[in-house]
């Protein structure tokens, strides 16, 4: 599971932004023992169990639009820079892909919502199920493919199947 945490302070550098969110979570007794810098060093990880974690990507808004900047760690220089991203635009694209279903179903998610609604498994669309299963498989196999890559590949390959068992 992932979340973007937008901080409205454009004066912070990438390292300070990461530390701000990390230290704030460490102050909370509920999270202090399970919070750490993520393996890729550009997100914060809350590891609830060995098999379930929650990633928080700190970001700053740079325009009135949907473009954000997130910390990007360069392994060669060991320095942070800003990387532009558009998670809201990506969410809109992904939910548009889920609407390609060949049979009509009730729409459970609104692509214009700024934050995701967490729905029970039975209310998720087939593409959402597939992405969830692919990510679970990746985690169980200790693979390193990024969530955005797996989600994009699944979304691009989706052809409106009614359920995850159609061939």
25-29, 33-37, 84-88, 139-143: which range is least confident on average?
A: 139-143
Those residues whose C-beta lies under 8 Å from the C-beta of residue 43, and which sit 6 or more positions away, are 2, 37, 55, 56, 57, 58
Residue 9 three-state SS: coil
Residue 129 falls inside a structural domain: yes
Helices (H), 5-157: 14-27, 87-98, 126-140, 147-157
Asked if pLDDT for residue 161 goes beyond 90, the answer is: no
For residues 10 and 79, membership in a common domain is answered with yes
For residues 65 and 118, membership in a common domain is answered with no
Domain end: 85, 118, 149, which one? 85
Asked if pLDDT for residue 165 goes beyond 90, the answer is: no
Asked if pLDDT for residue 144 goes beyond 80, the answer is: no
Asked if pLDDT for residue 1 goes beyond 80, the answer is: no
Mean of the per-residue pLDDT values of the chain: 82
For residues 91 and 76, membership in a common domain is answered with no
Q: Provide the sign of the torsion angle of the four alpha carbons 48, 113, 129, 58, taken in this order.
A: negative
For residues 44 and 95, membership in a common domain is answered with no
The tally of domains found in the chain comes to 2
> Which residue in this structure is represented by tokens 């979304």?
155
Mean pLDDT of 53-74: 89
pTM across the whole model: 0.64
For residues 92 and 77, membership in a common domain is answered with no
Residue 134 falls inside a structural domain: yes
What's the domain range around 10?
2-85
What is the DSSP annotation of 43-56? SEEEEEETTEEEEE
Asked if pLDDT for residue 100 goes beyond 60, the answer is: yes
Q: Per-residue pLDDT tens for 106-132?
A: 444 444 545 455 666 677 788 888 888
Query: How big is the chain, counted in residues?
Result: 167
Q: How many helices (H) and strands (E) does the chain have?
A: 4, 6
In this structure, the strands spanning 52-61 and 2-7 are parallel
CA dist., res. 117 & res. 91, Å (int): 12
Q: Per-residue pLDDT tens for 25-61?
A: 999 999 999 999 888 888 999 998 887 888 999 999 8
């Amino acid at each position: 599971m992932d979340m973007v945490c937008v901080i409205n302070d454009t004066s912070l550098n990438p390292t300070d932004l990461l530390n701000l969110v990390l230290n704030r979570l460490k102050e909370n007794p509920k999270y202090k023992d399970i919070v750490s810098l993520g393996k890729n060093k550009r997100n914060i990880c809350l590891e609830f169990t060995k098999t379930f974690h929650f990633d928080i990507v700190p970001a700053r808004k740079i325009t009135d639009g949907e473009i954000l900047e997130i910390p990007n760690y360069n392994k060669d220089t060991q320095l942070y820079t800003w990387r532009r991203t558009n998670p809201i635009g990506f969410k809109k694209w992904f939910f548009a892909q889920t609407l390609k279903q060949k049979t009509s179903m009730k729409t459970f998610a609104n692509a214009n919502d700024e934050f995701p609604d967490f729905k029970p498994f039975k209310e998720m669309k087939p593409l959402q199920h597939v992405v969830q299963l692919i990510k679970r498989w990746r985690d169980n196999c200790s693979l390193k493919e990024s969530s955005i890559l797996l989600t994009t590949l699944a979304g691009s390959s989706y052809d409106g199947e009614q359920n995850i068992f159609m061939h």
